[in-house]
Amino acid sequence: MLYKEMTKAELLALRTELMSAYEEKKGLGLNLSMARGKPSKEQLELSMPMLDVLNNNTNFVGEDKLDVRNYGVLPGIKEARRFFADILDVKPENVVLYGSASLTLMYDTISRAYVKGILGSTPWSKLDKVKFLCPVPGYDRHFTVCEFFGIEMINVPMNEDGPDMDMVEKLVSEDSAIKGIWCVPKYSNPDGYVYSDEVVKRFASLKPAAEDFRIYWDNAYIIHHLYPDEPAQILNIIEECEKAGNPDMVYEFCSTSKVTFPGAGISAMASSEKNINSTISMMNAQIISHDKMNQLRHVLFFPTMRDLEEHMAKHAEIMRPKFETVVEMLENELGDLGIAEWTNPKGGYFIGFNSMEGCAKKIVSMCADAGVIMTDAGATYPYGKDPKDRNIRIAPSFPTIDELIEACKIFIICVKIASIDKILEDK
Amino acid sequence: MLYKEMTKAELLALRTELMSAYEEKKGLGLNLSMARGKPSKEQLELSMPMLDVLNNNTNFVGEDKLDVRNYGVLPGIKEARRFFADILDVKPENVVLYGSASLTLMYDTISRAYVKGILGSTPWSKLDKVKFLCPVPGYDRHFTVCEFFGIEMINVPMNEDGPDMDMVEKLVSEDSAIKGIWCVPKYSNPDGYVYSDEVVKRFASLKPAAEDFRIYWDNAYIIHHLYPDEPAQILNIIEECEKAGNPDMVYEFCSTSKVTFPGAGISAMASSEKNINSTISMMNAQIISHDKMNQLRHVLFFPTMRDLEEHMAKHAEIMRPKFETVVEMLENELGDLGIAEWTNPKGGYFIGFNSMEGCAKKIVSMCADAGVIMTDAGATYPYGKDPKDRNIRIAPSFPTIDELIEACKIFIICVKIASIDKILEDK
């Protein structure tokens, strides 16, 4: 029954019941987290054999004819560039490797634009105003990078097939202060949405007012399917940009953080050769070479794409029941109440959740009081400001199934209480 | 006999003889390098057992109570902060860890000053002019960082006990555009000089005109002694700055690049807690955590400082004969000729060499033609401009002893020929 159709008395009675359940949960002194997209211990164990692939029998002199244990090979070893090229379906010369975090690569790419501009454009530090479009809800760490560099963020609504492209096209073509847009095109953070072919094509065909406008295509979940037999397919943005005559307009990012070890993986950027070569030449001021031993460790652990797929299928085995558990519990407990909606992703690390307006902060805070940590309400919006205070990101990966069930029970109780309070306010 | 005292005829005869030796060497088609401070293969082998320390028996949950294989612990794991604290003789809370390259840490530290300023000062990108003092000869990659950020470099002469402190004190106190100075205080690059206690104390007592002036103390060779029984000792700059009432005035850098694997080690910065905390808070926009598995790998490989010392003594065993070979050959072949001088370092990776004025470029170029690659002449000076064209950095670490002897023979022939040509010009 819809909460809105219940009488005040009914709601109050229900609230009393829920509060008693809530207090009981609180008494358990739990310490659970659905806050961050952290792989579980079980997932980490999958990559343990990777720690043994480098040993005294290893040939450390690869295709670059240099000992990977020593200095050199700034763009990354050939074998590892090809590894990412295969994942991203581009040529190895379109790939540059970085350290353990694609976030650092994104930050540094923007940092270099700030200091030097892009392919000869005015350095952003010399401009009065630099703006980025931010599809919302989105990834908080993208927004943090913008804030660090004083970049003004403009919200663009996300639809199930990608950002509102009418708005993107209009803004990008009219305002030369707009230098970029953040995209998580496959299994988006936090909704798990997948960009449609039409959206990707419209991105590739943008006519930006700024010559140094770039699409920051964070393909973080490119191979992170929950249902490996029905993987989401999106168009290849590098290829589409080439076709549309905009070869330099996109930087694509990806990493093995959620393939092998978070914080100890390898990361890469794909782009036009012009962009890649410019990046490599600027990287020369910052580093001699990234950790090539870790690059070699990865390529030896994944000799073929087939090995990588099999490995990702094991991740899916662990992740899928968790996502299904959460979605099923939400469906069963909140499905008929008219107080919330949520997504049902087929990959990635998150489930998007919208409560009634004005309830998200309260839900997250009540959860915390009962020992369940959620991502901060508002974190999915620039400046931490969700204008409707309703979006909550659910990260089901880290807890065990039992913990997840416990955490969801508490979350659901909190959603119900906050919704009743909201409805009562209006009655 | 001094070349200068030889007659023109004698010099010409000698030149003919040397050119014939040179052409013979050229015919060998050698491919040797004394260009970069690269450890040799033999040195790399010393750290191979480190690749085995992480395995299924490892306890990945350390003092931070978090699985190091997962996200988190931005400043680096406690165990590894203590590792560097012990090396640098500071407290662990004065240390922040970084990725595989201290160069990146230096670059990023300057980059953050460029974007944000230091502890509230005006961001350098908003200033008309930023200047750094550069003791010369010095490390080319320091200069490259300055060039990248458009920082004007001012040469300061290096003496055997450190930079010319009269000049440093005067410039730093008078010009508020001077925001930093590069120092390699122990076994300096390229001369192998060691800063005296007086120099360190004068550094700590600087009275800079700029509030955001910092000493960039690159202690790259802090434990890289050639004679471990007689290690060079320098005063602790962090402690001296504290004593002098300038606790925030220094950033100290160090890494394991030349302890374990170049490009696959770990790096650290030490500074006041104020500077460190400010750095950590800014790092939050750039990364979730550096490679903590590699941090753990290092601390497990070096459970105590004694283990580290024993490991470095093995490096010394390999390096010492190479340095002694070069210095002995220079002494025997050039000692009496009055055409060059060189240093005799007790640690580090380089030997400093000065030819007659106006000869360095020619020597390096002749060496290259005969298959011996030296660091570019001029590289030891900002903008690649050695005003006297005489400084050459010799890096003896990478070749085998036999290769080194061959390379030195050729180098010595080239020095002699270039010197004779120079003297003949003036006759």
E strands in B164-212 = 178-183
From CA B265, how far away is CA A186, in angstroms rounded? 34
Q: Phi, psi (5° rounding) for residue B97? A: -95, 155
Share of chain B above pLDDT 70, in %: 100
Task: State in words which class domain A61-302 has.
Answer: alpha beta
pLDDT tens digit sequence for A377-407: 999 999 999 999 999 999 999 999 999 999 9
> Using an 8 Å Cβ cutoff, are A290 and A76 in contact?
yes
User: What pLDDT sits at residue A295?
Assistant: 98
Q: Report residue B1's pLDDT band, with 50, 70 and 90 as the boundaries.
A: confident
Q: Which one-letter amino acid corresponds to residue A91?
A: K
End-to-end CA distance of chain B: 17
Residues 141-200, chain B, touching A (beta carbon < 8 A)? 141, 144-145, 147-149
Select the residue from A54, A55, A97, A111 to test the B interface by mutation, using most B Cβ atoms within 10 A.
Answer: A111
Residue A167 falls in which region: left (phi positive, over 0), alpha (psi -120 to 50) or beta: alpha
Q: Report residue A39's pLDDT band, with 50, 70 and 90 as the boundaries.
A: very high
Q: Does B100 touch chain A (CB under 8 A)?
A: yes
Q: Please tell me which of the candidates A103, A115, A291 has its beta carbon nearest to residue B263.
A: A291
Separation in Å, CA of A132 to nearest CA in chain B: 16
Smallest CA-to-CA distance from A201 within A245, A157, A138 is with A245
> Using an 8 Å Cβ cutoff, are A69 and A293 in contact?
yes
User: What pLDDT sits at residue B427?
Assistant: 79
From CA B9, how far away is CA A160, in angstroms rounded? 88
- Residue A1: pLDDT over 90: no
E strands in A346-411 = 351-355, 372-374, 391-394
From CA A309, how far away is CA B426, in angstroms rounded? 72
pLDDT tens digit sequence for B249-297: 999 999 999 999 999 999 999 999 999 999 999 999 999 999 999 999 9
- Residue A198: pLDDT over 90: yes
Residues 245-274, chain B, touching A (beta carbon < 8 A)? 261-264
Q: Please tell me which of the candidates B44, B282, B292 has its beta carbon nearest to residue A70.
A: B44
Residues paired with B251 in a beta bridge: B216
> Using an 8 Å Cβ cutoff, are A249 and A121 in contact?
no
Separation in Å, CA of A75 to nearest CA in chain B: 13
User: What pLDDT sits at residue A426?
Assistant: 83
Buried b vs exposed e over A122-143: b needs ≥16 C-beta within 10 Å? ebbbebeebbbbbbbbbbbbbb
Separation in Å, CA of B263 to nearest CA in chain A: 5
- Residue A100: pLDDT over 90: yes
Q: Quick check: B263 and A99 CB within 8 A?
A: no
Q: Please tell me which of the candidates B101, B289, B291 has its beta carbon nearest to residue A287.
A: B101
User: What pLDDT sits at residue B362?
Assistant: 98
Average pLDDT, chain A: 97
Separation in Å, CA of A98 to nearest CA in chain B: 11
Q: Quick check: A287 and B103 CB within 8 A?
A: yes
> Using an 8 Å Cβ cutoff, are A255 and A267 in contact?
yes
Q: Please tell me which of the candidates B67, B115, B284 has its beta carbon nearest to residue A44.
A: B67
Residues paired with A269 in a beta bridge: A96, A253
Which two tokens mark B333?
Answer: 């072949």
Q: Does B103 touch chain A (CB under 8 A)?
A: yes
What are the sequence ranges of the domains in chain A? 3-44+309-426, 61-302
pLDDT tens digit sequence for B329-368: 999 999 999 999 999 999 999 999 999 999 999 999 999 9
Q: Quick check: A55 and B54 CB within 8 A?
A: no
Separation in Å, CA of B246 to nearest CA in chain A: 28
Question: Hey, do A3-44+309-426 and A61-302 end up sharing a CATH topology, with the first three levels equal?
Answer: no
pLDDT tens digit sequence for A242-272: 999 999 999 999 999 999 999 999 999 999 9
Q: Quick check: B99 and A103 CB within 8 A?
A: no
Angle between helices A197-204 and A165-174 (to 10 degrees): 0
Select the residue from A41, A48, A116, A261 to test the B interface by mutation, using most B Cβ atoms within 10 A.
Answer: A261
DSSP labels, A150-196: T-EEEEEEEETTEE-HHHHHHHHHH-TTEEEEEE--SS-TTT-----
What mean pLDDT comes out for the span B314-327? 98
Which residues from chain A sit within 8 angstroms of residue B294, using beta carbons?
Answer: 264, 291, 294
Q: Please tell me which of the candidates A115, A264, A291 has its beta carbon nearest to residue B149.
A: A115
Which residues from chain A sit within 8 angstroms of residue B282, using beta carbons?
Answer: 148
Task: Give me the architecture of the B3-43+309-426 domain, per CATH.
Answer: Alpha-Beta Complex (3.90)
> Using an 8 Å Cβ cutoff, are A71 and B263 in contact?
yes
Select the residue from A71, A108, A142, A315 to test the B interface by mutation, using most B Cβ atoms within 10 A.
Answer: A71
User: What pLDDT sits at residue B426?
Assistant: 83
> Using an 8 Å Cβ cutoff, are A47 and B12 in contact?
no
Which residues from chain A sit within 8 angstroms of residue B148, using beta carbons?
Answer: 115-116, 282, 285-286
Strands B152-159 and B131-136: parallel
Select the residue from A31, A70, A281, A397 to test the B interface by mutation, using most B Cβ atoms within 10 A.
Answer: A70
Select the residue from B36, B68, B69 to test the A interface by mutation, using most A Cβ atoms within 10 A.
Answer: B69
Q: Does B371 touch chain A (CB under 8 A)?
A: no
- Residue B404: pLDDT over 90: yes
What mean pLDDT comes out for the span A137-153? 98
Q: Report residue B179's pLDDT band, with 50, 70 and 90 as the boundaries.
A: very high
pLDDT tens digit sequence for A329-387: 999 999 999 999 999 999 999 999 999 999 999 999 999 999 999 999 999 999 999 99
Give long-range contacts, CB 8 A cutoff, 24+ apart: B238-241. Answer: B238/B88, B238/B89, B238/B90, B238/B94, B238/B270, B238/B271, B238/B272, B239/B89, B239/B90, B240/B200, B240/B201, B240/B203, B240/B204, B241/B203, B241/B204, B241/B215, B241/B272
User: What pLDDT sits at residue A354?
Assistant: 98
Which residues from chain A sit within 8 angstroms of residue B69, using beta carbons?
Answer: 44, 261-262, 264
Q: Report residue A35's pLDDT band, with 50, 70 and 90 as the boundaries.
A: very high
Which residues from chain B sit within 8 angstroms of residue A124, using beta carbons?
Answer: none
User: What pLDDT sits at residue A427?
Assistant: 79
Q: Does A2 touch chain B (CB under 8 A)?
A: no
pLDDT tens digit sequence for A277-334: 999 999 999 999 999 999 999 999 999 999 999 999 999 999 999 999 999 999 999 9
From CA A244, how far away is CA A236, in angstroms rounded? 12
**Domain A3-44+309-426 belongs to what topology?**
Aspartate Aminotransferase, domain 1 (3.90.1150)
Which residues from chain B sit within 8 angstroms of residue A69, using beta carbons?
Answer: 44, 261-262, 264
Residue matched to tokens 């000076």? B381
Separation in Å, CA of A160 to nearest CA in chain B: 28
Q: Does A66 touch chain B (CB under 8 A)?
A: no
Which residues from chain B sit within 8 angstroms of residue A116, using beta carbons?
Answer: 148
